[in-house]
Chain A
Amino acid sequence: MEEKKGGTSAGGVVLPFLLGFVAALAFGWWGVPQLLYSKKVQPLVFTHQNHIELYGMMCDDCHSFRRDGSFAGLPDNAKCAECHSFPMGDHPDEIKFVEEYYEKGIEVPWLVYQYQPDNVFFSHAAHREYDCATAGCHPDVGSSNELPAYYENRLTKYSRDTMKMKDCERCHATVAAQEPERFAGAPNACQICHK
């Protein structure tokens, strides 16, 4: 009987396999996201908490619907300057807002976690009945003291938090089915979003 050379035991096969398996898992779950996303910080420090708790502002003081039902989204410089046309306090970002953006007429290039691609038609007005913060449509930053980091996909240039089509579809399928009368017209037909 011929003798086999080297690595004849079962452990000799299993161990490299396991090593490879674990390395791939680590690479896939931890390494790739590190490579795929670049971390960006917002141009200015902004605290929702202060605005709400100290100054008693409401969400729709800044993130309001216009008369035509469209969503104003982020406030523009003019809106901020209703209070911040002069620095309130000596925080460097406060001064930066006034001097670098407001006075020069440059809108603050806020990083938006949730912008949808151009090929999607999304109306906030149609979704105002539904609480999207708790449903996971966007991060609930309303009570936070700082804005979360913004992760940009290096390949697609989209935010990591941009909702995927399957999230939209899931909600349209379940919510619309649960309360067909309240959410009439929210089927998953392509032209509902891609028009």
Chain B
Amino acid sequence: MALNRRSFLTFAAGGVAGTLFTPVIWKSIDDTAIWTQNWPWIPRLEYGPRAYAATTCKLCPAGCGLNIRTAGGRPVAAEGRTDHPLSQGGICPLGAAAVQLLYAPARIKGPMQKQADGTHQPISWDQAEALLKEKLAEQNGKKDAVVCVSGDENGTINELFSALLGGLGSDGCFLMPGEQIVASKILREGSIGYDLENADFVLVFGADLLDGWGTAVRNKKAYGAAHPMGEEASAEYVYVGPTQNVTGGAADQWVSIAPGMEGVLALGVAYHLLQGGMTAPQAHDFFAYRNFVINRYTPEYVERLTGVAPEQVAELARKLRSANKPLIIPGSTIAQGGGVFNFAAALSLNMLFDNVNSAGGIQVLPDLPTVVSGAKEPAQVRAKDLVAYVQGVAEGKVSKPAVCLVYEANPLFALPLPDVTAQAFDGTYLVSFSTFYDETAAQADLLLPTPTFIERFDDVQTPYGSGFASYSLTRPAIRQPIFDTKPTGDVLLAVAKALGIDLGFASFDKVLEAKVAVLSELEGFFTDKVQPWEARAGKAPAAASGNLWRTISRGAVWASITEPFPTAMQLGSTIISQTAPPDAEDWTFPVSLAAMDSRTYGSRHIAIPPFCLPLLGEQEIQGDVFYVWMNSATARSYGLQAEDRVTLTGPNGSCLAKVRIFEGVGRNMVAAPLGFGHTAWDKFSRNKGDNIYKVLTVRTEPGSNLAVWADSRVRIAKA
């Protein structure tokens, strides 16, 4: 055989034919396809040993227990903790997004300073702390030149802020507004809790118990336990409020009432109770209260103000009287901005049933002792009214602060009238400790990002609304913080030291250790075998013992049901009569604005997490326009239909929205969600809807001088 062209071609043909009988072609195609799945820039899963870290959530004040699941030391998911009394295995949408927020694009990656051109440029921590020290040193000794706004209402961090400010000669340590501010006007010491678990009739005025108010997940668990599937409910829930929000929808009865009118209805109910012969002889001011209520809150008057039929009010009173353990919960639908009148009026009903500090009633809960020398008592901090202060600064009645420290709060977005707040702080040296690039951080002169609660040690003391005093810790569930962040407690201690102010601690961890050490001197127990509400009902827990820090830092919850001090019984007749709302119609702003808050929309200092965006239905937001809700009668009277564009105008600002027809909103009211309309943050949270805080209107409540905005009114018009 000679090697010529023909034999070569024949050889090649044989080769091709032979190849068809091998897997080479098919294997190559298959492997090439798989190879394309493994190109180096395609994200890969990271593998590693799995573990859980038990911690406590700091994304809102509810203090739920979270289990952070890690893979290879990297947090991958947040799950509920069945052993935590404030959540009992439940988790809210915001808590579920906790791990995703750790990696959110809106996180600030290190300390930054604002430049002349308005941009933020990275600096080192040494430079940042030196800068803060310098700014504070300039104001040292000047009265109230430095203020702080804290969004963490249950943390020991507030002690460091107030002690540092005290050292500088300032008294301006403020909390972001919340129910505890209003409650502090009634109770000078300690805080008020509600023993939902043991109550058999729960009458809620305003407070969105099952979503954005207080210990929401715990409340849901209590509600769920009282409403077992397929069985008779063991407790009845009645919701008095403007909308069928989560609580209004789930409650056994919903009584529609305009925001701000809750107190009037409560006193309407009190009228029937008093007429029925109920007394509260233990209260010093019973007769004054009785006369005031009987003379003024007659069924006709209450009907005229609230629109609730007298029979319905009488029926509520009858239901309350026939209950064994009735509990009446005051609050506002957005858990902020309510007045003392509504609060005290609803709270006084509890006094009539004499359920203070008893199972199923309201509880007076102690504040844990402070540990930082020079720190103010929590009650003193709660008594300060941030909104009134900001209004005062904006109006020029109060001198503008030179430096404002903002911690885990977003006052330039989440205070009523954010433009007024921005104006009040214009020219103030703004320092943001936020870990997210929020609206306040975007305006701040100095950014000192704190790690998220998954990356740091922190604590949660008795959240507002809880039926028992408690203490738990957050702990790092990740080996290294993701970004160049530093715990604010450590920054404050370092700066205080540089300023020559001795706060008594070398690090924030030591402050927390001292706090835990204080617990051993108090009467308390771990909630592993006996839950606090069981203890309240008579079950005896074993006193907490052993190494408290070791136990609590691994996730145990310390609780106490001890009465902090004998409570002098007062029905609050003086404050109720002084703060009673004027009986006047507002024709300029005829529609009541029922603002809504939900953990789906984030919290006061967290924007809607990307994780929660799919939870927003097409009836909540479409494109970048969000919806406000009204019933069909209200819509008709303003010539509106579903999907129409509408503007809500308050005395100081307006919002654009679309109309959703929902019969679960009372007449002549418009319901609108808070938490939309962010302008900073990241692309996931920005420019979605409009900020309802812009149309909330602050009024000063006569008698209490408290800034109130939960009962705002608006004008609506087709846009």
Contact = CB atoms under 8 A, between A and B. Distances in A.
Contact of A155 (B13, B22, B32): B32
Contacts of B17: 17, 20-21, 24
B60 to A, nearest CB: 28
A70 interface: yes
B18 A25 contact: yes
Given A24-B19, A117-B37, A16 B27 contact: no
Interface in A23-62: 23-25, 27-29, 32, 36
Nearest to B50: A70
B18 A24 contact: yes
A22 interface: yes
A13 B8 CA distance: 10
Interface in A65-81: 66, 70, 76
Chain B, interface size: which category? 20 to 34
B573 to A, nearest CB: 57
A92 interface: no
A12 interface: yes
A155 B49 CA distance: 28
A24 B18 CA distance: 5
B2 A27 contact: no
Contacts of A11: 1
Interface string B1-32: 11010111011111111110111100100011
In this complex, the member of A17, A18, A76 whose beta carbon has the largest number of chain B beta carbons within 10 angstroms is A17
B704 to A, nearest CB: 52
B50 A20 contact: no
B291 interface: no
A17 B14 contact: yes
B27 A157 contact: no
Contacts of A25: 18, 21-22
A76 B49 contact: yes
Contact of B14 (A21, A157, A158): A21
Contacts of A24: 14-19, 21-22
Given A7-B4, A118-B45, A16 B14 contact: yes
Nearest to A118: B45
Interface in A122-175: 153, 155-158
A17 B17 CA distance: 9
A21 B18 contact: yes
A24 B6 CA distance: 18
A178 interface: no
B6 to A, nearest CB: 6
Contacts of A36: 27, 31
Contacts of B45: 118
A28 B31 contact: no
Given A17-B10, A20-B14, A23-B15, A28 B24 contact: yes
B34 to A, nearest CB: 4
A19 interface: yes
A28 B19 contact: yes
Nearest to B8: A16
B34 A16 contact: no
Interface string B141-167: 000000000000000000000000000
Chain A, interface size: which category? 20 to 34
A156 B30 CA distance: 10
B34 A158 contact: yes
B44 interface: yes
Contacts of B10: 13, 16-17, 20
Contacts of B7: 7, 12-13, 15-16
A27 B49 CA distance: 43
B121 interface: no
A20 to B, nearest CB: 3
A20 B18 contact: yes
B587 interface: no
Given A16-B1, A19-B11, A21-B14, A7 B19 contact: no
B38 interface: yes
Interface in A105-122: 117-119
B565 interface: no
B35 interface: yes
Nearest to B42: A118
A25 B2 CA distance: 23
A15 B2 CA distance: 11
A89 interface: no
A156 B12 CA distance: 29
Given A28-B18, A118-B45, A12 B31 contact: no
A36 B38 CA distance: 16
A20 B11 contact: yes
A12 B27 CA distance: 33
Contacts of A66: 50
Contacts of B50: 66, 70
B36 to A, nearest CB: 9
Given A15-B1, A28-B19, A20 B31 contact: no
Nearest to B43: A118
Nearest to A29: B22
Nearest 9 A-B pairs (CB), nearest first? A28-B22, A20-B14, A24-B18, A17-B14, A20-B15, A21-B18, A16-B11, A21-B14, A20-B11
29 contacts: A6-B2, A7-B1, A7-B4, A12-B6, A13-B10, A15-B1, A15-B7, A16-B11, A16-B14, A17-B10, A20-B14, A20-B15, A20-B16, A21-B15, A23-B18, A24-B14, A24-B16, A24-B19, A25-B18, A28-B18, A29-B22, A32-B24, A117-B34, A117-B38, A118-B44, A155-B31, A156-B38, A157-B38, A158-B34
Given A7-B2, A20-B12, 12 more contacts: A6-B2, A7-B4, A16-B8, A16-B10, A16-B11, A17-B17, A21-B18, A28-B24, A29-B22, A32-B22, A32-B24, A155-B31
